[in-house]
Amino acid sequence: MKELLVAVLVAVIQLGAMWLGSRIRRRLPEHHLSSDTKDAVKLAMGLVTTMTALILGLLVSSAKNTYDTARSEVMQMATKVAYVDRMLALYGPEAAGTRRQLHDAIVEAVQRMWPDEEGVPAKLEPDTRTGDALFTAMHALAPQTDMQRDIKAQSIAILAEVGQLRTLLLVQSVRSISPPLLVAVVGWLTIIFLASSLVAPPTYTATIAMVAAVVSVSGALFLILELDQPFAGMIGISSEPMMVALTHLAR
């Protein structure tokens, strides 16, 4: 919701810049609106527009990379958890209790990362007590065969990797987009729309085109802010990979 409010605020600022530019245009002397003046303004705004487009592209790329990285880590967690459960099933009935603990730990993790209640933020920090109990249960297994020893060693190593991925998600939850950089982009956009409205003809067609541009750049900033928070907002990462893993754990 905060991201949407920021996008709306940016749109209001740009529309205000357009309105201010049109008001100033009416008061300017005629020689300030000559073709040479308009060409000079367009040339200067072309440079600012190019810089703004470049920065916006970099921000979108950075935010998308943050989102894709977190999604990949969630899928890796789901894959590793399902694999450990399969290994414990091969271990034999002695690991039945450990499998139940693994299932309960994943259910608890899913509920924390994707809470059912609307408006409740995701809790990416792992439950250390549940994790410690699961590791203790894994180490308590007493293998009798070479296969059981291999399964125990592999399962413990993979669970450690799952714990590292969970901690990595917590560390990566800090925003990667710098607020000063966003403020600079909004400032450049304000200059662009202010200057463009000074030289734009006072027609409905030009106004509609500029309003469409305002909506577009505000939408781009909204997407940047949304993608930078993968476990919140309207396009957050789905819990489906973990739910699929839970389905296999329940068998």
Check residue 239 and report its DSSP letter.
S
Residue 6: CA count within 13 A, CB half-sphere: 17
Q: Taking 70 as the threshold, does the pLDDT of residue 202 lie above it?
A: yes
> pLDDT higher for 34 or 18?
18
| pLDDT tens for each residue of 7-17 | 899 999 999 98
Report DSSP letters for 59-81, one per residue.
HHHHHHHHHHHHHHHHHHHHHHH
CA dist 167 to 14, 29, 98, 131, Å?
40, 63, 22, 12
| pTM for the predicted model, two decimal places | 0.82
> Dihedral sign, CA of 76, 229, 102, 135?
positive
| pLDDT tens for each residue of 86-128 | 998 888 888 888 888 888 888 888 888 888 766 677 888 877 8
Closest listed residue to residue 224, CA positions, set 177, 181, 180: 177
Mean pLDDT value across the chain: 86
Cα angle vertex 160, ends 83, 235, to 5°? 70
Closest listed residue to residue 19, CA positions, set 163, 190, 220: 190
Confidence of residue 207 (pLDDT cuts 50, 70, 90): confident
Crossing angle (nearest 10°) for helices 35-91 and 240-249: 10
| pLDDT tens for each residue of 24-49 | 877 777 766 677 777 777 888 888 88
Q: How far does CA 16 lie from the centroid of its chain?
A: 29
d(CA 42, CA 46): 6
